[in-house]
Amino acid sequence: MKPFKFFNHIALHPRFLEVVDRVWNETAPLYHSLSALQIFQDKLKGLKSEMCGLNRDMFGDLPGRVKQAYDDLCVKHTEVMQNPQKSTFEEISDAWEHWHHTLSIEDQGCSGWVLET
C-alpha cells in the first residue's frame, strides 16, 4: 500500500473537521491495551481515503484551475481597462487573489517533486 502524504492545505477544506470526526468515531475507541496500535492504524487507514477524496474535490486538476483563474484575471483586467470603476477594481483584486492562491497551492505540490528527485 502506498503511504499517505498529508498536505497542510487539506486542513483548510470546509468539511475537513466533519470528515475527520465522522471517520474517527465510526471505528472502535482507543483504550490502553495490546490492540490499541491496531485500532489506531485502522483509524488512520480509514482517514486516508477520505483525505484523498477531500484533496481531489478541492484541489483536483490544479493546472486546469490555475489556467481558468488566470484567464478570469485577464478578462477582469480587460474590463478594468475599458471601464475603470471601483467595482471593476474590486473584481480584479478578487480575481488576482484567487489566481495567486491557486498558483501557490500548485507550487507547494511541485516543490515536493523537486525535493524528491
CB 108 within 8 A of CB 9: yes
Number of structural domains in the chain: 2
Q: How far apart are the first and last CA of the chain?
A: 21
**Per-residue pLDDT for 112 more than 70?**
no
61: left (phi over 0), alpha (psi -120 to 50) or beta: left
Residue 101 lies in a domain: yes
What pLDDT does residue 111 have?
47
CB 4 within 8 A of CB 48: yes
What pLDDT does residue 78 have?
94
What pLDDT does residue 117 have?
37
How confident is the model over 44-74, as pLDDT tens digits?
A: 888 888 888 887 877 778 889 899 999 999 9
Q: Give the residue numbers spanning the domain of 50.
A: 8-59
Question: Torsion angle, CA of 39/45/46/48, rounded to 10 degrees?
Answer: 150
Question: Could you tell me the pTM of the whole model?
Answer: 0.55
In the listed set 38, 59, 80, which residue is the last one of a domain according to the structure? Answer: 59
